[in-house]
Amino acid sequence: MIATAPFKRLALIGFGLIGGSIARGARAQGLASEIVATARSAETRARVAELGIVDQVFESNAEAVKDADLVILCIPVGASAEVAKEIAPHLAPGAIVSDVGSVKAAVLHAMAEHLPAGVHLIPAHPVAGTENSGPDSGFAELFINRWCILTPPEGADPKAVEKLAAFWSALGANVEVMAAEHHDLVLAVTSHLPHLIAYTIVGTAEELEGVTRSEVLKFSAGGFRDFTRIAASDPTMWRDVFLNNKDAVLEMLGEFQEDLSKLTRAIRRGDGDALYEHFARTRTIRRGIVDIGQDAAAADFGRPKAELAKKAAE
Amino acid sequence: MIATAPFKRLALIGFGLIGGSIARGARAQGLASEIVATARSAETRARVAELGIVDQVFESNAEAVKDADLVILCIPVGASAEVAKEIAPHLAPGAIVSDVGSVKAAVLHAMAEHLPAGVHLIPAHPVAGTENSGPDSGFAELFINRWCILTPPEGADPKAVEKLAAFWSALGANVEVMAAEHHDLVLAVTSHLPHLIAYTIVGTAEELEGVTRSEVLKFSAGGFRDFTRIAASDPTMWRDVFLNNKDAVLEMLGEFQEDLSKLTRAIRRGDGDALYEHFARTRTIRRGIVDIGQDAAAADFGRPKAELAKKAAE
């Protein structure tokens, strides 16, 4: 495997859910002869070394990127520019520099400023995740049948784009290429707005008078639970997303607010027909998502069937 | 089993997700000597007969409740009063009449008006479900480790309450008793508001300019997908919920709107500290839900691990 690995040295800056999943997947698929990683905290570095997935763990980002032909920043987007500046003098000519951030336009511009000529900046965003974070949270299968969006700047080397696309395909992802600005608009609705709404409603539930926290937890299976999952995502990552994709998020929020006002009015006026018509329409969207394999129709809701059968037999 | 069944005849009015799950569970646990069901459409009745889970399928609700000592309405709450009126003259003295609706105060009052003395009205709400409906959607394990809330009216017979509580316990549920009005407030936040928000955002996503429907579906794994699940719930059921729990829902909507305004302002002003503080706080709620077993921490997200492992091996 080593002799034919597409990359000589893969340097992962950061080893959270995404960095850790790339490391595990790239190792399993033989995508790099050598995989190195960095982590900011000594505790995480110790854990990464202990896990034994990568060949070397560095404290210094500069040291990690030396001789690397693929460098992937797996850190909150707010830290990208600073890290780009830090590693720039140490990058090998011809290296591909990428990231995994949920916002692309701001990051692209912030990083591009610092990188030397002869290095290929190809930002990427694997649309996959769980609410867990930290070095133990990753798994090799995270990207299977998920999309990875590449947003190469104008004039990017097609060969470098192709090489990075092949890397993500090998991890199991479907790859799509689009402009950074379009990415940010699409993700504002499919990811950023849902997270903001989920963060809001979970906060609302916690502060109510007349309903205790214990009641909110106990009866969460009525729908609330589905929101808490995404409202448990990494706070630093999400702070940076909203700070760096402000305009698109505010635009989507405006649309959402208008629609919520319409439904609120229908409730206040007791307009059952308007409610029914809306609810029947949204149902078809769900069917579409299940049809293209982005979710399962199985009704396990966090309680795998095997576990239920066991409980039923008790 | 038949000799010791706690109920002689269980009559289920309606055979959707909940009615069908009760039938399957009650059959599996031997909770009634005879189980009968009704359904409005001939198609559903034919399917229920074919499934062979119940002893008899009736078109007439009046006929189904004859000699039944437990009658459970498993229909949208908007139809409860009408059905109560229809079955009232045919109910056996001492029968327990219950339901499974997501709204309790309005239903309790609407049904109580019609029922004769000597019949025990004990409304119930199993807080469990999936986005599927119809006679094939139910399964016996649906209620395991979920809560079932009983809202007996003042002066209800404690023995009847206890008997119904035992029935739900036998189906695997944890039973809680509370006032109908308090139930409606608690569920407004843990269920009704989340559904309304999910219905709204899924509608918003469908109507955007600049982002195609195909893009929304493809990149839904970024968070949007979690909302579509509950926005695919039965439209008639949810129309009735909002029409019958208007005040509590509007109150919770007001709270939600205030909180959303605060977060929107933080984004507009670029106030990263306020965002971080909020996001870190909501994370702890999720931990609480996982801790009490109302969801699993497993990161399968609709893609069971076994399936992923299979794909990874391809």
pLDDT confidence of residue B295: 67
Nearest-CB residue to A283 (from B182, B232, B279): B232
Using CA atoms, how far apart are residues A262 and B11, in angstroms rounded to an integer?
40
Using CA atoms, how far apart are residues A70 and B274, in angstroms rounded to an integer?
36
Q: Is the pLDDT of residue A15 over 70?
A: yes
Q: Which of A220, A236, A251 to mutate to test the interface with B (most CBs of B within 10 A)?
A: A220
The pLDDT tens digits of the residues spanning B127-158 come to 998 878 899 999 999 999 999 999 999 999 99
- The whole-angstrom distance between B54's CA and the closest CA on chain A is 20
Residues B49 and B128 in one domain: yes
Q: Give the closest residue to B182 by CA, choosing from B237, B99, B243, B125.
A: B125
Residues A104 and A197 in one domain: no
Chain B, window 218-277: residues with a beta carbon less than 8 angstroms from a chain A beta carbon: 218-233, 235-236, 238-240, 242-243, 246, 249-250, 252-253, 255-256, 259-260, 263-264, 266-268, 270, 272, 275-276
Domain that holds residue A246: 183-295
Residues A133 and A211 in one domain: no
Chain B contact for A168, CB < 8 A? no
pLDDT confidence of residue B3: 52
Residues A33 and A98 in one domain: yes
Instruction: Residue A281: give its domain's CATH number.
Output: 1.10.3660.10
- Res. B70 pLDDT band, cuts 50 70 90: very high
Residues B79 and B226 in one domain: no
The pLDDT tens digits of the residues spanning A125-145 come to 999 988 788 999 999 999 999
Q: Is the pLDDT of residue B298 over 90?
A: no
pLDDT confidence of residue A296: 58
* Token reading at A274: 């308007």
Nearest-CB residue to B238 (from A220, A242, A279): A279
Chain A contact for B176, CB < 8 A? yes
User: Which has the higher per-residue pLDDT, A79 or B290?
Assistant: A79
Using CA atoms, how far apart are residues A138 and A16, in angstroms rounded to an integer?
7
Q: Give the closest residue to B106 by CA, choosing from B127, B79, B86.
A: B79
Residues B170 and B206 in one domain: no
Instruction: Residue A164: give its domain's CATH number.
Output: 3.40.50.720
Chain B, window 84-123: residues with a beta carbon less than 8 angstroms from a chain A beta carbon: 102
Residue B285: inside a domain: yes
Residue A307: inside a domain: no
Using CA atoms, how far apart are residues B84 and A279, in angstroms rounded to an integer?
27
- Helix, strand, or coil (residue A210): coil
The pLDDT tens digits of the residues spanning A268-286 come to 999 999 999 999 998 888 8
- The whole-angstrom distance between A66's CA and the closest CA on chain B is 31
Residues B187 and B105 in one domain: no
- Kindly state the average pLDDT of the residues B160-186: 97
- Give A238's contacts in chain B (Cβ within 8 Å): 275, 279
Using CA atoms, how far apart are residues B154 and B195, in angstroms rounded to an integer?
30
How many domains are there within chain B? 2
Residues B252 and B175 in one domain: no
The pLDDT tens digits of the residues spanning A85-100 come to 999 999 999 999 999 9
Chain A contact for B190, CB < 8 A? yes
